[in-house]
């Protein structure tokens, strides 16, 4: 080993062997007043958001069901949500599976 390597190893051993000192001094453990301002601003924002949300929730109806669903039911009568458009009138059996997807068939 050369002298530089020995000095580096010895210096690292000295640093690692030191006992950690407890932090002390006039500024240790003190918080900045800016932190208090930030926390109070965040708290005020949360309070305002909760109030606004409660106002909007009070305006919602108890249910979203229509009072008179008859017109909607008349339109929905006879519709099949799983039907394929353009398949022919009155055809109820499902399409037969093919090896080729429909968009690639010629």
Answer whether residue 78 is part of any domain: no
Answer whether residue 64 is part of any domain: no
Distances, alpha carbon 44 to alpha carbons 38, 51, 56, in Å: 10, 11, 19
Answer whether residue 47 is part of any domain: yes
When divided into structural domains, the chain yields a total of: 1
Answer whether residue 3 is part of any domain: no
Structural domain that includes position 46: 34-58
Answer whether residue 39 is part of any domain: yes
Gap between the terminal Cα atoms of the chain: 79
Of 91 and 10, the structure prediction assigns the larger pLDDT to 10
Res 106 pLDDT > 90: no
Of 44 and 31, the structure prediction assigns the larger pLDDT to 44
pLDDT tens sequence across 48-89: 999 999 999 999 988 888 777 676 666 666 666 655 555 555
Answer whether residue 49 is part of any domain: yes
């Amino acid at each position: 080993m050369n002298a530089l390597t020995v000095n580096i190893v010895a210096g690292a051993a000295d640093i690692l062997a030191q006992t950690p000192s407890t932090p002390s001094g006039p500024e240790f453990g003190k918080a900045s007043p800016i932190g208090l301002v930030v926390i109070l601003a965040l708290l005020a924002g949360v309070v305002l958001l909760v109030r606004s949300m409660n106002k909007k929730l009070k305006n919602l109806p108890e249910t979203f069901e229509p009072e008179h669903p008859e017109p909607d039911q008349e339109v929905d009568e006879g519709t099949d949500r799983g039907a394929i458009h353009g398949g022919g009138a009155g055809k109820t059996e499902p399409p037969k599976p093919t090896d080729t997807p429909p968009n690639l068939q010629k």
